[in-house]
Copies of this chain bind each other. A is one copy, B any other.
Amino acid sequence: MRKVAILGIGQTVIDEHWNRSLKELAGEASFAALADANRDAVQSIFVGNMLSGALGRQENVGVLVSDWIDIQSIEAIKVEAACGSGASAFRNALIAVASGEVDSALVIGVEKMTESLPVETTEALATAADADYEASQGLSFVALNALVMQRYMHVYGWKHTDFAPFSINAHSNALHNPYARLHFSISEKEYTQARMIAEPINLLDASPIGDGAAAVVLVPEDSIKQAARKLVIVTGSASATDTIAVHGRKDPLWLSAAEKSAHKAYLQAGLAPPDIDLFELHDAFSIMSALSLEACGFVEKGQAPRLANEGEILPTGKIPITTRGGLKARGHPVGATGVYQIVEVVQQLRGEAGISQVDNARIGMAQNIGGSGASIVTHILQTRLQ
């Protein structure tokens, strides 16, 4: 298959965009990505979105967006894998371009979540879990993650405070990201004293929802002879699944789909965890940062809080994570998140990440999770050797 380059990126600010519709957000990100790629058309459109039907009374968003941005396309579909929709859409577009089926693709992650009542949004988010055995029993998504975090602290002996560095780092990195939802730093004391949501998850362990869209333009690498700037190519792409319900797993503290998809992506790229310069992981809750780092081989099982407390997840550390704010502070417009992560890795590899730029970043990884670890997609991006 052909190698694929990410030629353009675009994104909107994540916020409560009460005056802008889903298609307007998708359009803003799309036009930004097309302008960045210096193109005015693509052959196919893949939209990552989870909740347009439940919250926006609008399905068929592939065509909705292609019509809105006035691009007649071969393909205009929505890919849904709960909060992993964005990376799943990206991966399907990648296969379409790599295979030669199409010569260009626009991938858009978009979500509009804040016009509904909070209880409606919470209920809609719970559709990512098992409706029969989790959601219908009253388990909201945060409650599900709280059970996992509780168990992790019990098994490995960590205190709640030990997770503070994950949130502090995310907020610090988002400070100068103009597209982030939250622009304030937090202290360990603020983290510890934040309002409890579902014990032990408090407000500063949880990522905020939001409205937003991110987009990328994909083309075959060999179609770009002379790049105007550093060209980013995809060297690893893999997806894996686990049980949909957490209780179905042998070890609820091990993200086997993260392990499998990361392992496969490493193999494709010919790399190992120490080679990764930065990792945009799926920190919907701070416990998820810990589980992802462990499953992907960056630290031994049960030891991620130690890594975080040693400063190794900072932009200057061994494995910088959530370098633009992550889900925690950039925000988590669910179906859009996976595409935001790709956009941010591209920014880092191009050297456009501002104050949270990772020095000499050449290899970045992005990992997007649907459900509580049920489906996980991992991508490795690298700058092309000129």
Contacts and interface: CB of A to CB of B under 8 A. Distances in A.
A78 B76 contact: no
Interface string A219-261: 0000000000000000000111111110010000000000000
B67 A131 contact: no
Contacts of A73: 240-241
A346 interface: no
A53 B124 contact: yes
Nearest to A70: B243
Given A67-B243, A81-B60, A100-B1, A74 B131 contact: no
A1 B124 contact: no
B57 A131 contact: yes
A59 B82 contact: yes
A201 B101 CA distance: 39
Contact of A75 (B1, B82, B129, B239): B239
A130 interface: yes
A60 B128 contact: yes
A62 interface: yes
A77 B84 CA distance: 9
Contacts of A77: 79-81, 88, 92, 375
Given A67-B241, A77-B81, A58 B95 contact: no
A78 B50 CA distance: 10
Interface in A187-208: none
A221 to B, nearest CB: 16
Contacts of A57: 123, 126-127, 131, 135-136
Given A67-B241, A67-B244, A95 B101 contact: yes
**Chain B CB within 10 A, most for which of A51, A59, A248:** A59
Given A98-B99, A99-B1, A127-B57, A241 B79 contact: no
Interface in A38-75: 50-54, 56-64, 66-67, 72-75
A96 interface: yes
A245 to B, nearest CB: 8
A336 interface: no
A80 B78 contact: yes
A59 B80 contact: yes
A81 B44 CA distance: 14
B63 A59 contact: no
A375 B76 contact: yes
Contact of A370 (B51, B60, B100, B244): B60
A319 interface: no
Contacts of A244: 60, 63-64, 67
A374 interface: yes
A126 to B, nearest CB: 8
A242 B131 CA distance: 35
A289 B56 CA distance: 30
Nearest to A135: B57
Given A1-B100, A371-B63, A375-B60, A241 B76 contact: yes
A35 B240 CA distance: 24
A150 interface: no
13 contacts: A1-B101, A21-B132, A57-B123, A57-B127, A57-B131, A58-B135, A59-B127, A60-B244, A60-B371, A62-B375, A64-B130, A67-B248, A74-B239
Given A57-B126, A67-B241, A76-B81, 6 more contacts: A57-B131, A58-B131, A59-B128, A64-B130, A75-B91, A77-B92
